[in-house]
Structure 1
Amino acid sequence: MELPEELPQLYKRHIFACHTQRPPQHPRGSCGAAGAGPLWERLGKRIEALDLTGEVGFTASGCLGFCSAGPLIVIYPEGVWYKPQSEADIDLIVEHHLQQDRLVEDLVVVLSR
């Protein structure tokens, strides 16, 4: 069976946030060790406070594969990777990307394998 041209979407956007926690001395690092916990908590609260839960999915993920760059989130369907470092960064992502459909260019991460 071939894939259809377009599949129905549950959300307008879906955010995956790495929750991997490795020991601080681990050579690969981790988003958890880089302080992701409070940032993701803030992101979840902002999504709820702005009543975006019906259009924005927010999923805790395991490792996204770029451990030394963390903390990281990826937002689909655009496939944009962000590296927020503060609650203010989270607020910018919510306001610009989720509400205004605009990139937060200073926080975008371009990754390569």
Structure 2
Amino acid sequence: MPKPAYHILVCTNQRPPGHPRGSCGENGAMEVFEKIGMGIEQKNLFGKAMLTTTGCMGPCSMGPVVVVYPDGVWYKGVKPDDVDEILESHIMNGKKIERLEIPDEMWG
């Protein structure tokens, strides 16, 4: 297997219902993860992109959170309908999706 150019991380952390911080898991993160995995296969991106689930990455209220490295782009509120755009625009063409990006101001 060749070294992938991109590593896609999807937070799938699941907190109990009603937890004040919320969680990516309760906002459909597993659906996003599964759709990215299927998209990598369907678009023949093996060797270009690697997919991994993570625990909490911090911005829980903005989830599901998806991070693309080595670019260090953090996406917020990712829905299954956003996956094809992320794969085609970012992974295949190197162009981040600004409407989904967590703003730099959030990091302080």
Answer yes or no: same fold by TM over 0.5.
yes
Counterpart Cα distance in 2 of 1:85 and 1:17: 10
5+ residue gaps, structure 2: none
Q: CA offset at residue 84 of structure 1?
A: 4.3
The aligned amino acid for 2:107 is S
- Tell me the TM-score normalised to structure 1 length: 0.85
RMSD: 1.5
1:112 equivalent in alignment to 2:82: no
SS at match of 1:17: strand
> Quick one: distance in 2 between partners of 1:54 and 1:84?
26
Structure holding more helix per residue: 2
Runs of 4+ in 1 over 3 A off after TM superposition: none
- Number of equivalent positions: 105
Secondary structure of the structure 1 residue equivalent to 2:107: coil
CA contact (8 A) 1:35 1:71 kept: yes
What is the one-letter code of the residue matched to 1:112?
W
Which of 27, 39, 47 is matched with 2:40 structurally?
47
Which residue, out of 12, 23, 26, partners 1:19? 12
Contact 1:84–1:90 (8 Å) recurs in 2: no
